[in-house]
Amino acid sequence: MPPSAKQDIEALRMEIERHNHLYYVTNQPELSDAEYDTLFQKLQSLEARHPELITPDSPTQRVGTAPSESFASIEHSIPMLSFGNAFDEGELRDFDKRIRSLLDTSDVVYVAEPKLDGLAVELVYRDGLLISGSTRGDGRVGEDVTANLRTIRSIPLRLRDANGIVPPTIEIRGEVFIEKQAFAALNRRREAEGAPTFANPRNLAAGTLRQLDTKVTASRSLSIYCYDVGLVEGLTIESQQQLLTLLPRLGVRVNPLFQICAGIEDVIGFYQRVRESRDSLPYEADGIVVKVDSFAARNTLGTVSRSPRWAIAGKFPASQGITKLRDIAISVGRTGALTPVAVLEPVRIHGVEISSATLHNEDEILRKDIRIGDSVVVERAGDVIPKVARSIPELRTGEERIFVMPTVCPVCGSEVVRTDAEVAHRCLNISCPARFAQSVLHFVSKSGLDAEGMGPQLIAQLIDGGIVKSLADVLTLDRATLLGLDRFGAKSADNLLAALETAKHTTLPRLLFALGIPGVGTHLADVLANRFGDLDALAQAQEDELSSIQEIGPLSAHGIVTFFSQPTNRRMIDDLRAAGLVLEPLPGGAHSAALSGLRFVFTGTLSSMTRSEAGERVTSLGGIVASSVSKSTNYVVLGENAGSKADKAREMDIPVLSESEFLEFLKSYE
C-alpha cells in the first residue's frame, strides 16, 4: 500500500468533515454541492481500493448499512429526565418563585431556548470518537440507534479537538428533528410516488430514528441541536452558558436562538418573542425550555419525581384557526363505536392543512353546541391532533342544522344502540364492513388467535377480493386460494396455513379477546373463562350474574350480554366451530394462584413483549391487570415513555418496576 494513499484518505476525511461542519453546523458553506460531491466520490474511490483503511468515523460510513433485526438497549449513565410544564406566564413566574425560595436568593440567571418538537437522544463520545447513540427511552434505558444517528450529517463522528479540550468521555444530549422545508419536500416526494405522507415532523423524526434500515434514515434530512450533557470525564462544566460555548468548539451543533436571562421577566420576554415568531422559525417549536444557568445551583435544587426542579418547559397555547363546518360524517371503528367527524373547509394551522377533526361523541357536540354550517374554532391539540374547540354562535345565519346521531349504522344498516352508562353509540353487527377489516386483524392478533403472517395488507387483499367475508373464512383458507394472491409464494402460503392450523386450537380466554366483545380485554377474558369455563355457559349468562363478579361492572356486563344476544354473532360462533375451531383446556387445567390478589398496572412501551403479553403472564399466575393507578394497585411496571401513571405511583408510594425488574419478579413465581 503506497504511504500516500493513507495520507490522501486522511486529508480528504478532514476536508470533508470541515465542509460538513461549515454546512450543517455553522451554516457557512464554502463549496457548491457539485464540488462537495466530487470530494466525497474521490474518498469513496480511494477507500474502495484500500478497504483496510476504512474507519467508523469516515464520512462515507454515514450512508447507511444493511437492515438491523432489532434495537438493543443502552442504559444512561445519568438518567435523562423530562421537564415539567408551564402553560402560561403565571406558571413561569410560579416556577421562578420556587427556584428563588429554594436557593434563598433574589437573583437567578436562566438560559432559555426554543423547545423543539423532536426526539431526545444521547451521543456518547470516547476520546472524541462517537461510540454509541440512544433514544431517551424511559429516562434510564433507551434504544440503541447508533447506526441511524451516524447518518445525520450535523452529528460529528469525531469531535473537533479545539485547543486540546476533548474530554476522555462526554455524553452529549440533544433533540433530533427535521426542518420544515425538508419535511414539506419529503412529503411532496412521497405524494408524487403515491406513498402516504407523514402527519407531522415529530412523528417523522421519531419513526425515522427507529428505522431498521439505516439507508432510509440516511435518505431523510434529519438535523440535531444539542443542549445538555450526561457523564463528563476530565472536564469541568460550571454553567449552561459555558456548555453552549463549549459544544460548538467541539463541532457540536447548538441552537443559536438562545438567551441568557437575568431573571424571570427576561424569560417571559423571550417566551413572547418566540411565540410570535414561531411560524417563521425553520423548525417546529411548541414552547421554550428554561434552565437555571448555574450547575452548582442545579445540584442544590435536585429533582422531583422524574423531572429536574431547575428546569421547566414553557408551552405555547394550542394553535388555532377559524373555518366552516361543512358536515359531520360518521366513522365506524372496530368495536362498532360510531365517531362523529367534522368535515371542514380546509384551514392551515401552524403549517398543516386541516380538513377534518374528531368530534368525539354526541355528548361533546351538544355540550359545545356545534351545528352543521357553523363557524368553528379548530386547534391542534399538542400541535398535533386537530379538534374542534368551540362553535362561534354569533356568526350564525340561521341556516345551520342541529346534528342527530343515526339510529342505524351508515355502513351496514344494522341497529345502533347506546346504553345509559356509555357515551358511545355502537353498531353491534360484528360483520359490518366498516369494522370488519379491523375485526379480522384483532381476531388473528398475538393476544387473539395469534395467526402469524396475517398482516393488514394481506387481510385487505383477502377482503377486497371477496375471499374473506366472515371471521370463519379466515380459518378455511386453502393453498390454492393463497397462491392466487398477488405476490404470495408457496413458502408464504405453507407458513400461513401452518399458523392457521395452530390458531384453530386455542383457549377460551384467547377466543373471548379475539371476538372483540366491547370492554373485554385480556384480563377480563381470563376472568370470564375462569368463572364460566365454557363458551356456551357464558353466552347464556345474565347481566346480574356477570355484575356479581368483582372485576366486571354494569357497563361490561351489559356489553357482554348484548354481544351474545345478537343473532349475527351467534351464527358467527357456530361458523367458527364448523371451520374447525377447537377450545383447548388451559395449561394445568387452571391458572396458578401465585399472584392471587396482586394488582398490576402497565405504562409505556415494553421492549421484550407487548403489554398484552405481559398482562397474560400476570393473569396466568392469578394476578390482576388494571388500567389505572389506585390505592389497590400493588405494582406499576414502567416501559419506555412511561406517562403520568408513573408519577402517580410515586406520589402514592406504590412500588414501581422497570421491565427487567418485572421479569425478575415473575421468575420467582413462574
Residue 340 neighbours by CB distance under 10 Å: 21
Residues 122-141 as b or e (16 or more Cβ within 10 Å = b): bbbbeebebebbbbbbbbbb
> How do beta strands 624-626 and 599-603 pair?
parallel
> In whole angstroms, what separates CA 315 from the centre of its chain?
20
Beta carbons within 10 angstroms of residue 446's beta carbon = 14
Question: Amino acid letter at 364?
Answer: E
Is residue 151 a contact partner of residue 62, using CB atoms and an 8 Å limit? yes
Residues 180 and 285: their CA atoms lie apart, in Å, by: 11
Long-range CB pairs of 24-30, under 8 A, 24+ apart, other chains included? 24/153, 24/154, 24/223, 24/253, 25/154, 25/248, 25/251, 25/252, 25/253, 26/248
Give Cα 70 distance to the centre of its chain: 17
Rounded Cα gap, residues 468 and 455, in angstroms: 14
The CA-based diameter of the chain, rounded to the nearest angstrom, is 88
The SS3 call for residue 367 is helix
CA 398 to mean position of chain CA atoms? 43
Strands 337-349 and 656-658: unpaired
d(CA 572, CA 568): 6
> Does residue 446 carry a catalytic annotation?
no
As a whole number of angstroms, the distance between CA 3 and CA 334 comes to 67
Do residues 200 and 131 make contact, with C-beta atoms less than 8 angstroms apart?
no
| Residue in 42, 115, 291, 645 annotated catalytic | 115
Answer whether 488's CB lies under 8 Å from 482's CB.
yes
Measured distance CA(382)–CA(34) in Å, rounded: 41
Length, in residues, of the chain: 670
Between the CA of residue 55 and those of 3, 47, 68, 343, 471, what are the distances in Å? Answer: 17, 10, 20, 55, 54
CA nearest to 291, candidates 261, 336, 315: 261
Q: Alpha helix locations (H) across 479-624?
A: 479-483, 490-504, 508-514, 522-532, 535-539, 543-547, 554-565, 567-578, 611-620
Q: Which three cell numbers stand for residue 13?
A: 476525511
Beta bridge mates, 320: 379
- Residue 359 CA to residue 199 CA, distance in Å, equals 19
* Local structure of residue 316 (DSSP, 8 states): P
Q: Report the alpha-carbon distance of residue 430 to residue 334 in Å, rounded.
A: 8
Only one residue has cell 436568593, namely 105
DSSP line for 180-242: HHHHHHHHHHHHHTTPPPPS-HHHHHHHHHT-SSHHHHHTS-EEEEEEEEEEEES----BHHH
What is residue 589's DSSP assignment? Answer: G
List residues with catalytic annotation.
115
